[in-house]
Amino acid sequence: MPRERHIRRVGINDWGTHPCPPAYLRDQLREREGLDCEFDLCSTDDLDGFDGVVTLFHHDEFVGSVEWVHNIRSGYEDFPLDDYREAGVTMTNSTGVAGDLVAETVTGYVLTLAKGLHRLRDRQRNREWERLPWRRPFEVSGSSACVVGLGELGGSVANRLGVLGMGVDGVDIRPVSGLGIDRVSDASRIEEAVTDARFLVLTTPLTEATRGLVDGTVFEAMRDDAYLINVSRGEIVEPGALEAALDDDEISGAALDVFHEEPLPEDSPLWGRAEVIVTPHAAAQANTYSDRIADLVATNVSRLNDDATPWNQVV
């Protein structure tokens, strides 16, 4: 016999507007038919009466106050999982929600870097009618990429780059098949894996094994006409190694959506580099993001109340 329904009221913790406004997500959830649950905005100092919380960040007040916490991101390195387990709090995340959205952004980075569109945009700002050197733009089809981290995000990236006619290799700690990838190397052999790649794309989660994975030796192993694309976490790249590689012309440029410190400090030299694209941790941003989160939250409310395992359960 199913236990009594226990997720009766869910709070949407205010996180600002990125990647979607909390009030908009609340309104979407309220419009769901057949979902017998209340949704309201909440603050960390007023959790009384809430059974669950939807959030962008961990707050200590959640532990022991609610039965369920849903993280609208896929990354959860800032969530103290042991504390959640000890308090009996279920924690879910949003892995898979934004994989194809980020993959679309990566495709845009690849095409922008290959065709030099960012350089032309800079010239437009200065009203300069000047083409790039004739050999500077290159054809994406036939070029190669190495995707580090072949989960749902990395798999989506690999599939889209393959559609562009690119050869795709991968790096992962697990055996991977079925993604149409030419070769998969263990993370311990990343220097060998990047040797022939025109693009090195980072889509791996941040763990102790991946922190600082891309260091000076990796940049030295890359082609001098290669580009780094990072849509995972800034800490995957060793501090200072990227800037040194750019200074020494070990690589040609980068597209960076994540950084060691966010927001990126105003005095960071990355802002002023013409060969670097800087975006504000927005690779997953899309007008459908809140719809996807609402679908996942609504599904998990129903599953929790049916005493079933929620999707994307972390704890």
Write down the catalytic residue from 26, 198, 281, 292: 281
CA-based nearest residue to 57, from 83, 75, 82: 75
Quick one: tokens of 9?
Answer: 């009221």
What's the burial of 9, exposed, middle or buried (CB within 10 Å: 0-12/13-18/19+)?
middle
Q: Look-up: residue for tokens 């279920």?
A: 90
Q: Are 227 and 277 in contact (CB under 8 A)?
A: no
**Is there a catalytic annotation at residue 233?**
yes
Alpha-carbon span 312 to 300, nearest angstrom: 9
Write down the catalytic residue from 233, 238, 250, 292: 233
Alpha-carbon span 256 to 9, nearest angstrom: 39
Residues 8/27/15/238 CA torsion (nearest 10 deg)? 100
What's the burial of 257, exposed, middle or buried (CB within 10 Å: 0-12/13-18/19+)?
buried
**Is there a catalytic annotation at residue 303?**
no
**Is there a catalytic annotation at residue 262?**
yes
Catalytic residues: 233, 262, 281
